[in-house]
Chains A and B, each alone.
Chain A
Amino acid sequence: MSDITTDLVRQATAGDRRAVRALVEALTPVIQARVARVLLRAGGAARGREVRQEVGDLVQQVFERLFADRGATLLQWDPARGMSLLNFVGLLAEREAVTVLRSRRKSPFTEDPMEREDLERGAGSGDREGEIERLVASREALSCLVRAMKARLSAQGLRMFTWLLVEERSVEEVCAVEGMSADAVYAWRSRLTRLAREIGAEITSDTATVPRKPGEKAREG
C-alpha cells in the first residue's frame, strides 16, 4: 500500500490505464472493508440481503465517485494534510455506504425522528453518585448496559455509537462520514452519555429493588 503516491493518482486521473488498474487494486480492500462494516452493522445481512453483492456494488459506486469529473475527488487528496489516501478513500467509502443506507425508505432502520426527543427527555435522569462506577466495574453489567443502549438507538444512533465509542473516531472523521457539523457530533456524544447514565440508573435501580430470597447474598459490583 505504501506505493500509492500522488504521482500514481495523477497518472490514473490522466487516464493512464495501468495506473487506473493499480489504483483500483490498491484501494479495493480498504473500500470493501469500510463499506462491509457499515452494511453489516446496519443489519443488511440479517435481512437476507445479498451482502456480498451489496458490497461489490458499493465498491464500484465508490470508484465512480472517485473518478467522476476526471477524478476530481481523488485529486482533492493532499498528503500534506496528514491523511493517507487509504484513510481518505475509506472515509469516502463509509460516507457512501451511509448515504445508501439512509436512502432505503423501507428499511426498518431508517432514522427515527423521535430519538432526539426521547434522549433529551432522559437528560435529567442522572445516576446517583457511585452507582455508575459500580456498574462499570462489572463486566457483565457493562455488557448489559451496552446491549440496552444499542436496543434503544436508531440506525443513526447506532452508527454514532460505533464511530464515537467503538472505533473512537475523531469528531472531524465523524463529520466527514455522516455529513454533519462538529456541534451535531458533540450533541450526539452528549446524548449517548445521557442515555448511558439513564439506562445505568435503571439497571442499578432494578438490581436494588429485586427482592432477595432468604439467605441470598447481595452481589457486589
Chain B
Amino acid sequence: MKDDDLLRALGRAAREDDLLADPRWDALAAGELSEREVEALKALSRGDPEALGAFEAFEPVAAEVREAAAARARAMLQERPVGSVGSVGAEDAGGARGARGTRGARGAEVVRLPGRRKLLASVLAGAAAMAAAAVVWVMAGSGARDGLPVYALAVLGGEQTERHGGPPEAEGPPRIGPGSRLEIVLRPVTPAQVPVAVRGFLVSGGDVAAGGGRPWEPPVEISAEGSVRIAGSREALFPGVAPGEITLVLAVGRPEALPADAARAVAMSGAAAPSESAAAPSESAAVQVFRARVTLVSGGQ
C-alpha cells in the first residue's frame, strides 16, 4: 500500500471520530447557527465533557472581549513606530519595546502583557455582574514616555437596553441608574516601569471647559504592573452626586506629577471638546489624562 493511500485512510478515520472536525463549531463561533442548531450542539455537550468544552470554546466571545480587542488595537496604532521623529524619541520607544517586547524575523512585534489575563478576567467578571448590557467606552493615551507606558481607558457598565453594534463612541455616555455598577480600567499597553498613581476629578454637566470640577475619590486598585481599576455601584462611586451628565477626568502617572486640581487636569487633557471620546495627549511626559462621560439617571428614567 502506498504511503499516500495509508495516510489518507488514517486521516479519513481520524476525521470520523473527531468531534472538532464538525464545521458547525465554526458556524457557532461566527454566530451563524439558528437557535435550533445551537440547541442541538448544546444537547450534544450534555454528558460529554469533550463536547461541553468545545461548546464553551466556540460559543461567540463576549462583546466585551471584542471591544477590548478593538480598544487595544487603537491604542497600539497610536504608538509611535521605532525610529519615528516626534515628541517621543526613537530611543525611548525602542527601549520600551526592547524591555518588554519580542521582535521576530517576520517584522511583527508582540508586546507581552503579563497581567492581561488577570485584568481581562476582572473586566469580564465585572461585566458579567451587570444586569444590563455593558457599554464599553474606550479611549487611548499618547505614546510612552519616561517609563510610563501608553494607557487605554475602558469604561464598562450602564443600562443600555438594546444591543448595540456600532462603535461605542457613537452610542452616548453610559447611563448609570440606582444600583448600577460601573467599572473603569486604565490599562497600560506594557507594564509600567515606574511607580504609578491615579487622581480623579468629577466635572458636573459634562462641560469640562466651564470648570468647576472637584476631586473624585472612589475606591481604586492599582496592580504591580500599573493597571488601575475603579469599580463599584453607583452609590459607592458617586455618593451624593446629583443625576445628570458628568465628566470623569482621570490622571494616571508618576505620583509627584499628578495634577493638583481639576482645572489643571482638564488643561493637561488638552482642548478636546467634551463630546469627543478620544483622549487628548497629556502635556506632561509623566502623566496621561483621560476623560469619560457618564450620565447618572434617577430611578424613573
A positions within 8 Å CB-CB of B: 12-15, 17-18, 20-21, 24-25, 28-30, 32-33, 36-37, 39-41, 45-46, 51-53, 55-57, 59-61, 63-73, 76, 132-133, 136, 139, 142-143, 145-146, 149, 161, 164-166, 168, 189, 192-193, 196-197
Contacts and interface: CB of A to CB of B under 8 A. Distances in A.
A150 to B, nearest CB: 8
B10 interface: yes
Contact of B20 (A40, A68, A193): A40
In order of increasing CB-CB distance, the 4 nearest A-B pairs are A45-B53, A165-B11, A73-B108, A36-B57
Contacts of B210: none
Given A36-B29, A37-B20, A52 B169 contact: no
Contact of A40 (B57, B69, B108): B57
B106 to A, nearest CB: 7
Contacts of B41: none
B224 interface: no
B116 A60 contact: yes
B188 to A, nearest CB: 13
B117 A70 contact: no
B143 to A, nearest CB: 12
Interface stretch (B58-66, B175-183, B211-219, B261-269): B58-66
A145 B116 CA distance: 42
Contacts of B49: 45-46
Contacts of B42: none
Interface stretch (B71-79, B230-238, B251-259): B71-79
B44 interface: no
Contact of B69 (A13, A60, A161): A60
A132 B26 CA distance: 35
Interface centre among B53, B62, B78, B116 (most CB of A within 10 A): B53
A64 B110 contact: yes
User: By CB atoms of chain A within 10 A, which of B17, B49, B62 has the most?
Assistant: B17
Contact of B7 (A59, A69, A192): A192
Contact of A166 (B1, B15, B25): B15
Contacts of B31: 29
B242 interface: no
B54 interface: yes
B72 A64 contact: yes
Contacts of B62: 56
A41 B26 CA distance: 15
Contacts of B108: 65, 68-69, 72-73, 76
Contact of B10 (A33, A61, A67, A142): A142
A139 B14 CA distance: 11
A33 B58 contact: yes
Given A15-B74, A36-B25, A196-B7, A63 B30 contact: no
Nearest to A161: B14
Contacts of A36: 25, 29, 54, 57-58
Given A36-B57, A56-B120, A67 B77 contact: yes
B194 interface: no
B70 interface: yes
B110 A61 contact: yes
Given A40-B57, A145-B13, 5 more contacts: A28-B65, A39-B57, A40-B20, A60-B68, A165-B11
